[in-house]
Amino acid sequence: MLMNKKKICVITGTRAEYGLLYWLMKGIQADNTLELQLIATGMHLSPEFGLTYMEIKQDGFPLDYKVEMLLSSDTPSSISKSTGLGLIGFADAFNLLKPDGVIALGDRYEIFAACTAAFFARIPIVHIHGGETTAGAFDEALRHSITKMATLHFVAAEQYRKRVIQLGEHQDRVFNVGALGVENIKRMNLLQKEELEEILKFRFGEKTLLVTFHPVTLEQDSSCNQFNELLTCLDKLENTKIIFTKANADTDGRIINIMIDEYVNGNEKNSIAFTSMGQLNYLSSMKYVDAVVGNSSSGVLEAPSFKIGTINIGDRQKGRIIAKSIINCSPDRGSILKAIEKLYSADFSRDLKSLVNPIDGGIVSDKIIDKIKSIDCNQYIKKEFFDL
């Protein structure tokens, strides 16, 4: 007698998020008791951001549904309207696909829309990377809202597990498994330097920095000013190559991307920019740069595994667990230049050699799949608030 497979629907809206989910999706796809469903949305479907859904298909993942929701604007009003379009689109998608569970990672508005639709449809939600805090972005509120709609929780550290329980989630359904991004580093066959340089059409220098800067969505009119301060500092560096990855489709993200293009056009010999590097190229680049500079979560989550520095600018990642390789600084040129000076100091370089990533959980995807298979989430649709 054939057993019906449990249909697990994975949502992805950005290149970075897809990279984190890759091995989990592979594991679901290979399991004979699970059926992978996949919905692409947000930046994946935008020509402006590289139509990265094509990379997903090339990796062997058939798309079951596309939810178009991204408007050609990044104002607060357009983000709200995009979220509304997403809610409508995911309602249709779930009505057609009828998944037994939805996997959502992180805190973006695309994921919030998907989880809201799943919650109304009484579909159990599996949330990954809850319990974290990011004081400089409205992702903070969205993440905790998703936590309250979710049934199972897979977090990256014990501190985050405690925070999810503090939000009223039952302790028996909150699991500290580590970070999926660290698993990627362990399992990917990263490129050799010469091969990577050929793909990127860019040579690493005596010094090379990987710059990823996203909008600070809870601060009025500051993203442009903060990024300009960083560019001013980069102009002062000698014998340094710069690799930029462009900003997400957040409020003011397009302003940052225009500034990147202008900088690279004026510094073609020493800098290059990518709308989407792809997970393999991005992680391989980390292996050969001196530091990740900006305010991306990758500088906090993945970079420590390469024993390289991170210059973390401003408040966007404030509240996350910080490895000793991370140099926090204010978004002004004086503080950024001091951070760069520390990065290249002998004492800092020596300390990197013994660095351990505090969110390394080994093969995280296997842990998540085992729990999804063993727990009947439908019994927890009527959630009770867990009092401490």
Q: Cβ(213)–Cβ(329) under 8 Å?
A: no
Same domain for 125 and 204, yes or no, is no
**Is 183 part of any domain?**
no
Query: Crossing angle for the helix pair 279-288 and 15-30, nearest 10 degrees?
Result: 110
1 pLDDT tier (thresholds 50, 70, 90): very low
The pLDDT tens digits for 144-155 are 999 999 999 999
The pLDDT tens digits for 248-269 are 766 677 889 999 999 999 999 9
**Which CATH number covers residue 204?**
3.40.50.2000
Same domain for 306 and 336, yes or no, is yes
Same domain for 112 and 233, yes or no, is no
Same domain for 235 and 341, yes or no, is yes
Task: Give the span between the Cα atoms of 166 and 182, in whole angstroms.
Answer: 26
Same domain for 322 and 196, yes or no, is yes
Task: Give the span between the Cα atoms of 241 and 110, in whole angstroms.
Answer: 34
Structural domain count of the chain: 2
The boundaries of the domain holding residue 311 are 191-352
Same domain for 342 and 373, yes or no, is no
**Is 93 part of any domain?**
yes
**Is 186 part of any domain?**
no
Same domain for 208 and 293, yes or no, is yes
Q: What integer is the mean pLDDT of 363-381?
A: 93
Same domain for 55 and 171, yes or no, is yes
DSSP string across 150-168:
-SEEEESSHHHHHHHHHTT
Same domain for 71 and 174, yes or no, is yes
Computed from CA positions of residues 225, 229, 234, 235, in that sequence, does the dihedral angle turn out positive or negative? positive
Task: Give the span between the Cα atoms of 118 and 381, in whole angstroms.
Answer: 11
Q: Is the pLDDT of residue 219 over 60?
A: no
Same domain for 196 and 327, yes or no, is yes
Same domain for 127 and 162, yes or no, is yes
The pLDDT tens digits for 275-329 are 888 889 999 999 999 999 999 989 999 999 999 999 999 988 888 898 999 999 9
Same domain for 139 and 195, yes or no, is no
